[in-house]
Chains A and B, each alone.
Chain A
């Protein structure tokens, strides 16, 4: 689904160069649920931005869905973002002037779906996140948890192959965070690949895999060793077979 090899990202000013990612390699299979952890400034968000084609990189290769997405034009990147990737942000990033329905509608508009198709997808997405009755509400009329559910509905309405979640529970209380995590697991179980940046170890443990980023590199959780390419061992299990147990816990397969 996603393959990064030796990716390097440098932020430059007139005087200094900052290596946000350095020799960063990662392999994510279709249907995986990956938790990305690491301290602030480690490069998690940079990785997520590059993965989401929101930012470029200086060296290395990036394949998304078997396609080399290095050096795509802006329009091509936008189209891939729109069709294959859903974003969930820590601060929800809903458009305050639009209703819940219209917020979910935005990526579908860019996709060019007709009115009937959009309506069907929006209603289905809101049904999935349990907000079917709030379609005409505005974000300001919803709680934080509800707003994040709307953001999730917006992310899944276009049936993306990959969801990138940047600390999706960071602004929520524990109970609400668990509910959102339940929702993400549900979506993952339906086959959507999810990469989630989080600081919350409890939530991270519920992902299928955890990776840690430190100083722009992947590190071994236990020993702090640099692991340039995390390619999972072949597994006969289909993603659905890795469904969480009733208590929601998962076992990390990569670290």
Chain B
């Protein structure tokens, strides 16, 4: 019977191509808007590191000015980054399995290959713990160890893209790279590693690429590297001269470092106590003028806090679904007109043995076919729209192909279009099945 209903529905759709087209178009528009925004929302809110997201914690400490609330966070929240000297201080803890500061420096890079011109590059300042903490995949070599951090060994890890640019993609482990006036040995090349969102750096470039070059954090103190602090910085307190970076970093209250720890289960409380004890110690030294207000925030909570755009996009997603439903309600009138204009045919079917339920099912199926067509059209249009967004937004904001229609969107589009067509078609279909056959057969 389903085959017969489909057959009749297709005949009906072909009999009124313009109405069918307009209906598919309207549902398609609604599905396009919905799936596009929900795709974006999915990207912005998804768990970027499911294997470890319950073990990674962002660390914040409230060393801020007692007389003013820190801006750009919810009331009562500490600054979103920490100072260099607090980073050094809390790294003394042996509670975390892994820990790393994440900062960004800018400097000129001089490739070994003379054919590649020197260029200004963002350099990611991290600790040895960054690599096991993020499980960044390596194509060649590996990351450095804690001894290299302590000894400030001039080593670096390149991103896949940087290795392509600087060394033609070959195994560059052992090759040299000059940053500023300092030579660094390449000890590792990352495989493709572009977590989206870039959870370990939600402050500066949450949807950007991984930095091309990663070096041990403390090279920020080496002036001959030419590295200057880059990215979001928030400062208060006495002005500190910047001519000697090491002295500046030891004295300034500038918050510019995101700090991450990987904690085994059950160690969060102990680590939090450690931070409070550290802050109390600093308070005795005249710092941390506010009450203890330190945070050890799980990765996903931190992303939710930082990702304002995700919240806005989630609201947009709901609005887009409402938009789709409004499209559907507009189609209702169109379908009602179409179905009632075929009252005579309904009468014939009723005379030939169709029950009201059959008539209702046939008409609803016709709506669903329109919905499926609209959903597929919307999905294609959504893919094109996301491609356009990817192309239109500078790659410095979103790395390539960050937005795409995921396979789950197919089912979402199908579900939305079926719901929309149900909303649009249920009343017209109900009216069609209520048609009095006796009257219509006489009018035929």
Q: A54-B437, A55-B438 are in contact. Are A98 and B352 (CB under 8 A)?
A: no
Q: Are B12 and A110 in contact (CB under 8 A)?
A: no
Q: Are A109 and B4 in contact (CB under 8 A)?
A: yes
Query: B407 contacts the other chain (Cβ, under 8 Å)?
Result: no
CB distance from B20 to the nearest CB of A (A): 13
Query: A45 contacts the other chain (Cβ, under 8 Å)?
Result: yes
Q: Are A79 and B344 in contact (CB under 8 A)?
A: no
Q: Are A106 and B349 in contact (CB under 8 A)?
A: yes
Query: B355 contacts the other chain (Cβ, under 8 Å)?
Result: yes
Q: Are B345 and A95 in contact (CB under 8 A)?
A: yes
Query: B441 contacts the other chain (Cβ, under 8 Å)?
Result: yes
A93 to B351, CA, bound (A): 10
How many chain B residues touch the partner (CB < 8 A)?
A: 27
CB distance from B365 to the nearest CB of A (A): 14
Q: Are A81 and B11 in contact (CB under 8 A)?
A: no
**Contact residues, A68-110 vs B (CB, 8 A):** 74-75, 77-79, 81-83, 87, 89, 91, 93, 95, 97-98, 102, 106-107, 109-110
Query: For the complex, would chain B's binding face be called helix, strand, loop or mixed by DSSP majority?
Result: helix
Inter-chain contacts of A82 with B (CB < 8 A): 352-353
Q: A54-B437, A78-B358, A97-B15 are in contact. Are A109 and B350 (CB under 8 A)?
A: no
Inter-chain contacts of A166 with B (CB < 8 A): 441
A54 to B349, CA, bound (A): 11
**Contact residues, A21-68 vs B (CB, 8 A):** 45, 49, 52, 54-55
Q: Are A78 and B355 in contact (CB under 8 A)?
A: yes
Partner of B352, one of A49, A55, A77, A81: A81
Query: A154 contacts the other chain (Cβ, under 8 Å)?
Result: yes
Q: Are A110 and B438 in contact (CB under 8 A)?
A: no
Most buried by B among A54, A55, A74, A102: A54
Q: Are A89 and B356 in contact (CB under 8 A)?
A: no
Query: B267 contacts the other chain (Cβ, under 8 Å)?
Result: no
Q: Are A54 and B348 in contact (CB under 8 A)?
A: no
Q: Are B356 and A74 in contact (CB under 8 A)?
A: yes
Query: B181 contacts the other chain (Cβ, under 8 Å)?
Result: no
CB distance from A57 to the nearest CB of B (A): 11
Query: B139 contacts the other chain (Cβ, under 8 Å)?
Result: no
Q: Lowest 7 CB-CB distances: which A-B pairs, in order?
A: A82-B353, A78-B355, A110-B353, A49-B438, A107-B352, A55-B438, A97-B11
- Mark B residues whose CB is within 8 Å of A: 1, 4, 7, 11-12, 14-15, 344-345, 347-358, 436-438, 441-442, 444
- Apart from A74-B357, A81-B350, what are 5 other A-B pairs with CB-CB below 8 Å? A55-B436, A78-B355, A87-B352, A98-B11, A166-B441
